[in-house]
Homo-oligomer: A and B are copies of this chain.
Amino acid sequence: MERLWDSLEKLRAKRPLVHNITNYVVMNTTANALLAIGASPIMAHSPEELNELVALADSMVINIGTLDSQWIYSMLMAAKLAKKMNKPVVLDPVGAGATKLRTETSSMILETGAVKVVKGNFGEILSLAGEFGKTKGVDSAVYDAERGKELAKTVALKYGVVVGITGPVDFVSNGKETYAIKGKVDVVKNVIDRVTGLGCMVSAIVGAFIAVEDPLIGTIAGMAAFKAASIEAAKEAQTPGMFHVKLYDWLYRINGRHIENDINIERID
């Protein structure tokens, strides 16, 4: 997996323009995460300018966290434009499974054929597999490491996309190959569920990586880079306010050596 460092260097050299149609809660968070790691974010949703912006962008991130009918219209229009212009799209189906609107909107966006990567937590990806569980909020579906591998593969095959599932162990699958991404040290557990938008950060960062790599490598690289940055930040701060600040610092500072030291990536299928 030495290609992962190369991916990070490629990202920083290209400084890809990542177009985000995302939720109100994390717009600032994900813009700052993208800038910190070395990409260039734009947040824009107006139908009147989507055609021009999709043309300018290198990739797109669609995040349904605070969706409503107007924003769904923009998301679908943007996805169709991205498909037409061959710009890779990451979908973060925030809260899929919690409400029909979120599950159905995720399906509609997937049906455009524009999505190359779906990045969600366990419960969200489970809902895309057709299983609905009670989602407690959008941040904390019940994570089941035993089922993660199969779930990632199943949903990848169902939609013909790369699937990334975040959790204590991340899973990434394109249906043919499946990987587990694990931190070598367990320092993030006190803080990782105490800051909003971290999953959304991962999706945004994956969006930057798939502007410079194919979807499978880009997703693994993005999730590994984020995990390494979160481990380095948690080594310095075990409380949510300071951890959050240090996370941006480490997205900026992270390099191949940190990823190698902190992260274990294993092909499991």
Interface centre among A67, A69, A248, by most B CB within 10 Å? A248
Chain B contacts of A70 at CB under 8 A? 68
- Tell me how many residues of A have a C-beta within 8 Å of chain B: 62
| Those of A54-84 within 8 Å (CB) of chain B | 56, 65-70
Type the 1/0 row for A30-65, where 1 means its CB is closer than 8 Å to any CB of B: 011001100011111111110011001000000001
- Copies assembled: 3
C-alpha spacing A140/B35, complex, angstroms: 11
B-contacting residues, A208-250, CB 8 Å = 239-242, 244-249
A45-B66, A56-B135 given as contacts; is B32 within 8 A of A196 (CB)? Answer: yes
Chain B residue at minimum C-beta to C-beta distance from A23 = B43
Which among B31, B40, B239, B240 is the interface contact of A140 at CB below 8 angstroms? B40
- A197 at interface by CB-CB < 8 Å: yes
0/1 per residue, A1-32, Cβ < 8 Å to B? 00000000000000101000001111111011
A42 near B252: Cβ-Cβ < 8 Å: no
> What chain B residues lie within 8 Å of A196 (beta carbons)?
28, 31-32, 35, 41
Beyond the given A24-B27, A25-B43, A35-B195, please list 10 additional residue pairs across the A-B interface where CB-CB is below 8 A.
Answer: A25-B31, A32-B241, A40-B140, A42-B98, A46-B69, A48-B69, A52-B99, A56-B134, A241-B249, A242-B249
Mark A residues whose CB is within 8 Å of B. Answer: 15, 17, 23-29, 31-32, 35-36, 40-49, 52-53, 56, 65-70, 95, 98-102, 134-140, 193-197, 239-242, 244-249, 252-253
* CB pairs A–B below 8 angstroms (25 shown): A15-B136, A25-B27, A25-B43, A26-B28, A32-B195, A32-B240, A32-B241, A32-B244, A35-B194, A35-B196, A35-B240, A36-B240, A40-B137, A41-B137, A41-B196, A44-B95, A48-B68, A48-B99, A52-B98, A52-B101, A53-B98, A56-B134, A56-B135, A241-B244, A241-B252
